[in-house]
Structure 1
Amino acid sequence: MAPTTTQAHPGEVRTVNQILGTRPSLGPIPADQFMPWVGLLVLTMTVTQGILPLCGLDVGWMPTVVFAAWLCSTYYVLTYRRAWGYLGKFQNRPRWVLGHQRYLPLTFADRHTADGGEG
């Protein structure tokens, strides 16, 4: 996008960048979707062109493309607006506990002085 110009005051021209405030993207692919899509494409290629032929199921390129498109579109629908809204469900909550442990220094000389002995 080319910058456009607006006039703030008569006689003054200010350049405005239209891309500010938009989501970053690599062409039609949103930037935050790029690496997961690459991973899904690698997974699709591994399964359809690597593992399935070893099992005797020779699939062509059309099922590979359809499966990859299905995986990428499903991931896109689930994570488009708020990736954390869906992916955050798979993170464990922290478990906070209170615990009391006697202090043990790392070196033997410090342990001796911590026990009340002479250094």
Structure 2
Amino acid sequence: MLSLRSVRTWTVGAVLSAAVTLATYALGAMSGFTQVAKICAVKAGKGPSARPDSITESGFPLSQVCHWRDGTSVDLVPAWVNPLLYAGLTAVVVCSALAVYAAAKRKKEPVHE
């Protein structure tokens, strides 16, 4: 049974959440890693030879946006990546806080022999 007193449970939850968050970030960062201009052009429906005029990248929130002069823009990072990153980071913080709380609570309890 999951309880607020289980330090190990919350610690494992924090570690697993961090692993999933890092994997999600890596997957999102690798979107269009090679041949960015060609992938942007294909996703925009312009054909592989139409190169974008500029490419804007951001590490957090994760994005890699290609822009053309006609106003077309395409983000190569899938739409689900950033919400999953925020959820994962939230889970890491919550699980870590509950692990600390459970450890502090355990120290205050008298030892039964």
TM-score above 0.5, yes or no:
no
> TM-score scaled to structure 2, two decimals?
0.33
- Bigger radius of gyration, 1 or 2? 1
TM-score, length basis structure 1? 0.32
